[in-house]
Amino acid sequence: MIRVSPAARGVSGTARVPRSKPHMQRAILLSLLTNAPSIIQNPAWSSEARHLFEAARQWGLEVARDDGDRLVLTGAGRSLRAPRGPVATEGSAFNFRTLAAVAALLPEETLLEGNASMLKRPVREHLRFVSDLGGAVRDLSDGRRLRVGVRGGPAPGGRTVVDTRHSSQVLSSVLMVAPLAARPVRIDCSGPPVGPGYVDLTVRMMREQGAAVREQGLSYLVEPSVYQSRIHLVASDFTALSYVAGVVAAAPEGELDVVDYQPSTLSSERDFWAALRALGLRLEHDPVTRVLRIGRGVPPGPVVEIDGRNIPTVVPTLAAIAPFVPARVSVRNAAHVNNHKCRRIEVMVRELRAMGCHIEVTTDRDGQVDGFRTPGPSRPAGGVTVSSHGDHRICLSLATAAVGARRPTVVEGVQHLHASFPDFPHVLAGLGVHVAPAA
Amino acid sequence: MHSIQYKQLHVRPAASLKGTLVPPASKSYSARAVLAASLAPGTSTIENVADSHNVKAMIECCRALGAVMTPDGPGRLRVAGVARPRDGVILSPGNSGIVLRLLMGAAARSRGVTFASPYTESLGRRGNSEMVEALRALGVVVTAEGADGRLPITLDGAGAHGGEVGISGRRSSQFLSGLLYLGGLLDEPLAVHVTDELKAWPMVRTTLAVLARAGVAAEAGADLLTYLVRPGGGFQPAAYACGSDPASVAALLAIATAVESDVEIRSHGLEELGGVLDHLRAVGARIDEDGTTLRVRGGGPLRARDFDGSQAPDAVLPLAALAAHAEGTSRFTNIEHIRYKECDRISDFRRELTRVGIDSGETRDELIVHGSPGGVPGGVTVTSHYDHAVVMAMSLVALRSRRGLTIGDPQYVAQTYPAFFEDLRRLGATVAA
């Protein structure tokens, strides 16, 4: 637990945010599938990325050089080598899905393993693409671990339907391996994918490397094509940026510089920056110095309405910011945010209200929670202990809101920050916020 | 099957080759045209643009600098250029020296542009000190790795200016070409003189032709050792048409000469083949020209002949591979500069010749090949050294060998000729993954 004191005199200074996990994951996969050298510049090493990287090495990804901030790799292309033993995906559904897609390119059976938590998550039922593309799946799980054998067909290719109602990860996984199939691959989505920005990211990164991908409504057609050598410049994590920007919004005044900031081309990041500007923040990025300056900008209008459909990861931060904005703020179309580690919208609203913020959930026509709204600015009292519910994004968002409270707030759950932004308490301290461990 | 997806390919001996091919478009002209179009505000078109990986690297770099590229039918590219390339970008020239050096000139007025390449063992080892020093003399702040100006390189051109500058042409003419592109962007005249000798002069002629088409007034002395670029309206939109790639045509001609064959090569207008046709005829090929079509019939006895490599530097390796099957010794002269390509095309290539049992020698400026008219046994593995020219030359050796060759890292043929192995199959060769 940490005790976050109010930033009564505002915030200032410099901050640094981690690099983007989605970029890193895709860069690893694409580097493996490229029969030429690649560079991953500014790698973002989460535990999930590390496991994915180790798995890719089992298929033939080679490290030519590791300078810390620059990783030079040589991939395998179609000369993927069959892993000698089981491939561990631990508790990562993303890793399981993408590695199952890689395994579907090889005629030998690959054993993919996950821990017990994966048995409860929707992963096995989304492997239909393997058989659709000519391969086969064997479920060898027991009560203690997920264990699945995946084998590709003699000439992978064909048509598959991917369930995109709750996740776009399977879609991204099949898309990335499809250029290496022997025949064209057509992927039909069951509906508009959630997190379309991440699908855009996948397709953009594929095209930048030479993949032939055509998008036709909710279908994708990928022709056999060759990934070319690439420097993957891993973008900064705009979700991590959201907490730093949130601190400027919550504090009574301030301006700060985020150094070494590399914006992504994600439509999600573009939409998020637009939302911050609508909420009255100013963001100026210098591409040469790579400094992003964040301060107060043009005051918002009386009503700010934000569509949360394409910005799921920052909806909790927007909830933390909204009570401090001199406007009536609403975020809608964000029901999918509740499908993560906890019911994020409801939890955020409950904890913010405990701090004294004026905020309430909103529901859609079916009565499902799909967002929140504020009646105008609050001056929350703070002075309470709030819970992260085991979710790093809730913890970070609550610590952000605590900066604007009148009394110190204890935020529980810092032990979960390793998943995204472990240095955030130090970043807060560097901006002039008093942060101390709490018993 | 995309052969370049594999880390090894086995090329079997060919009893005969027969058929018609259209060789790839010129990577040299295409890369220059893409860059010139990207620097011209407005819309340019490029016909028959090469799909080689070098040109794709140039296209990606120009996109990063702000140009908009739109495919406009097969082999046709529409380019919306920008007057002021973007600052603060990282550019990867792939494994191409010409893409790097041209862009170093074109980006030398921008701020904070960094060049880096994943090919740390190839382009990453090539020095650029000539260009680095010339740019510094013109007011550009340059940071580079090591005294010989290796990647990564960062340019800050806020203080770039015109004037007079000298450049060495001994290792490469690419530095000179890069400076001529910079001249087209400056507000003051730029005078460039070559301080020693110019080895690959045909490539400079290609640069001058593209610049002229883009409306850049670059005047060259008759000896190609002095240049003056006058300030004008900068790069203008234009329509470009790329011919066939001379290096690829030379390789196909040499291959067809090496084995029993009847092959037609239908080009999109041949660029200068630099004495290659005369050389091949002297060696023993029957070559008939009909407009832009070349018909070559090979398979007869081969005579050893010397070749001045400065006429067609990219043709030297396939011609040397052919010489390995001739009666007698052939000398390829005036070629020191090919040591500074994707690999050292004299020493590294000789290493592979030795591996397959071909006797050869070298001096600083010369490759000497002692022919074995009976061919080589084959049955061994050779490596490409990241070099398309080595892949094509070793494929020739394999086709004429008794057991074929396994070629390691053949994918680098795509720098110039992505469909090379598919085209060999079309002629009847057997290439297996």
The H-assigned helical ranges of A18-153 are 21-32, 47-59, 93-103, 116-119, 128-132
Closest Cα in chain B to A210: B56
Eight-class DSSP state of A439: -
pLDDT confidence of residue B177: 98
State the average pLDDT over residues B70-81.
95
Torsional sign, CA A419, A423, A425, A428:
negative
The token pair that represents A197 in the structure block:
């920005």
State the average pLDDT over residues B304-313.
92
- Residue A127, burial from CB neighbour count under 10 angstroms (0-12, 13-18, 19+): buried
Q: Residues B376-386: pLDDT tens digits?
A: 899 999 999 99
HSE (CB half, 13 Å, CA atoms) of B177? 31
Host H or E run for residue A221: strand A219-223
Instruction: Single out the residue of B346, B321, B348, B322 nearest to residue B336, CA to CA.
Output: B346
Q: What share of chain A is helix, strand, coil (3-state, %, to 5)?
A: 35, 25, 40
Identify the residue among A71, A223, A229 best suited for mutation to test binding to B, counting B beta carbons within 10 A and taking the highest. A229
Rg (CA), chain A: 22
Run means of pLDDT, 10 residues per run, chain A, 439 residues? 93 96 96 97 91 96 94 96 93 92 97 88 89 96 93 96 89 97 96 85 94 95 96 96 97 95 91 97 96 94 93 94 96 81 89 97 91 95 94 94 96 88 95 91
pLDDT confidence of residue A370: 92
Compute the C-alpha angle A181/B69/B151, nearest 5°.
80
Give the gap in angstroms from C-alpha A71 to the nearest C-alpha of chain B.
9
Type of residue found at B59: I
Host H or E run for residue B420: helix B420-426
Q: Residues B13-67: pLDDT tens digits?
A: 999 999 999 999 999 999 999 999 999 999 999 999 999 999 999 999 999 999 9
pLDDT confidence of residue B175: 97
Closest Cα in chain A to B413: A36
Say whether pLDDT at B111 is over 90: yes
State the average pLDDT over residues B299-311.
93
Neighbours of A256 (CB within 10 A): 24
**B410 within 8 A of A77, measured Cβ to Cβ:** no
For all residues of chain B together, what is the average pLDDT? 95
Rounded Cα distance, A14 and B201, in Å: 52
State whether A65 and B116 contact (CB < 8 Å): no
Contacts of B323 (CB under 8 A, 6+ apart): B283, B302, B304, B305, B330, B332, B369, B371
Q: Residues B312-360: pLDDT tens digits?
A: 888 999 999 999 999 999 999 999 999 999 999 999 999 999 999 999 9
Is the ipTM value over 0.85, yes or no? yes
Q: Which residues of B162-172 are buried (b: 16+ CB within 10 A; e: fewer)?
A: beebebbbebb
Instruction: Single out the residue of B312, B361, B360 nearest to residue B334, CA to CA.
Output: B312
State whether A231 and B92 contact (CB < 8 Å): yes
**A414 within 8 A of A390, measured Cβ to Cβ:** no
Identify the residue among B70, B153, B387, B411 best suited for mutation to test binding to A, counting A beta carbons within 10 A and taking the highest. B411
Active site residues of B: 314
Look at B228 and B275; give whichever has higher pLDDT: B228
The H-assigned helical ranges of B214-344 are 246-258, 276-283, 316-323
Give the gap in angstroms from C-alpha A316 to the nearest C-alpha of chain B.
32
The token pair that represents A275 in the structure block:
């939302």
State whether residue B314 is helix, strand or coil.
helix
Eight-class DSSP state of A323: G
Rounded Cα distance, B310 and B384, in Å: 23
Pairing of strands A11-15, A254-258: parallel
Give the gap in angstroms from C-alpha B118 to the nearest C-alpha of chain A.
5
Percent of chain B with pLDDT over 70: 99
pLDDT confidence of residue A341: 66
Helices (H) and strands (E) in chain B, counts: 12, 24
The Cα-based distances of B70 to A119, B55, B269 in angstroms read 46, 15, 24
Rounded Cα distance, B109 and B142, in Å: 11
Say whether pLDDT at B233 is over 90: no
Give the predicted TM-score (pTM) of the model.
Answer: 0.91
State whether residue A86 is helix, strand or coil.
coil
Contacts of A231 (CB under 8 A, 6+ apart): A38, A39, A41, B90, B92, B116, B117, B118
